[in-house]
Amino acid sequence: MIKPHGSDTLNPLFVYDAEKHHALIKEAEGLPSITVSSAAAANAVMMGAGYFNPLTGYMNVADALGCAENLQTAAGLFFPVPILNLVQNIITISGAARIALRDPNVEGNPVLAIQDVEAIEEITEEQMQTMTSKVFGTMDSGHPGVAAFNSQGRFAISGAIQVLNLSYFQNDFPDTFRTAVEIRNEIKEHGWEKVVAFQTRNPMHRAHEELCKMALEALDADGVVIHMLLGKLKQGDIPAPVRDASIRKMAELYFPPNTVMITGYGFDMLYAGPLEAVLHALFRQNMGATHLIVGRDHAGVGYYYGAFDAQTIFDEQVPEGALEIEIFKADDTAYSKKLNKVVMMRDAPDHSKEDFVLLSGTKVREMLGQGIAPPPEFSRPEVAKILSDYYQSLDS
């Protein structure tokens, strides 16, 4: 199986030993504590689950700036984005060597992790601007990732963490949420060697379905892991339970048996386009995938990134050998009326625009909201029914 990033074995930061876990929970009761941001909580979950291997905790400012500017920490570890615990106020933890981090997304703010405080640094406006512009490619506060990043605070708490729970993800999505450890184990149980990962924060339409099948065939892969984001999205995105139901229905009816794993992970979407695509590749390698599908505007939002910037970054900015996972580069896909199937548009040079069934996401949402099923060339009817029921429930 493919090695995790940065180490020979996966080192999740969740404390699995029951006796040690109990002792840490008890210790946390007496520690100074702070409720962290949703983004910092998601970072803790990703480290706890093994997705951010080989990190041992939150970065200091030097490492965060190094990742933003050069895609590596001060010690030279390849990592595409800063992983920070940013807070607005440090009064409750001033002078503490060890603190409890509380979850902002669960009622009662239970302890999420214990952190050894390496340093508390105040980030300058210039440093914040550098990280923002490098990671997101813009300073526009209308970009949801920029807005979220800049709202967290200016004090960076660095240091190793021990993760004690995985937030709301295990309880809210028991059939879907999986740690990188669990996915690696499932891949082994399936006997898969060549594994394709497909990232999604949206329901899967025909084009997405066929893209996974194209990758399976082109790579002669054993299976595909459909890996959906379960954390915070932007306003207007479809809730995770609806996406989950529609994807499961599609896989059940339209994929060969034993070729698909449907899983999810707990992270707040960055909408950082190219750099988030690199992050996606890194943590898919950690979960055992050998290939990641990267298509048009992967992890993008609005018009901040070029259509295929998330592909070219792997050739232009990711050092050779930095990651072992390989990228399956996908073009725009659409249903060909000439060929009666979904194709990558680059593979159909003899087609005109009229030869394809092309529908914008906005148009499809309008149709679903009105109870009108999109054409079967665009969406499987069983999937469209689940989505239509959701959109119509918004108006009732």
Which residue numbers are catalytic? 201-202
Q: Residue 339 has which token pair? A: 């060929």
- For tokens 């949402």, name the residue: 365
Instruction: Return d(Cα 275, Cα 308) in angstroms, integer.
Output: 12
The residue count for the chain: 396
Measuring CA to CA, how many Å separate 21 from each of 27, 67, 216, 366? 10, 32, 40, 49
| Sheet hosting strand 333-336, strand order edge to edge | 341-344, 333-336, 356-357
CA distance 215 to 6: 26
Q: How far is residue 295's CA from residue 325's CA, in Å, rounded to a whole number?
A: 16
DSSP string across 250-288: HHHHHS-TTSEEEEEE-------THHHHHHHHHHHHHTT
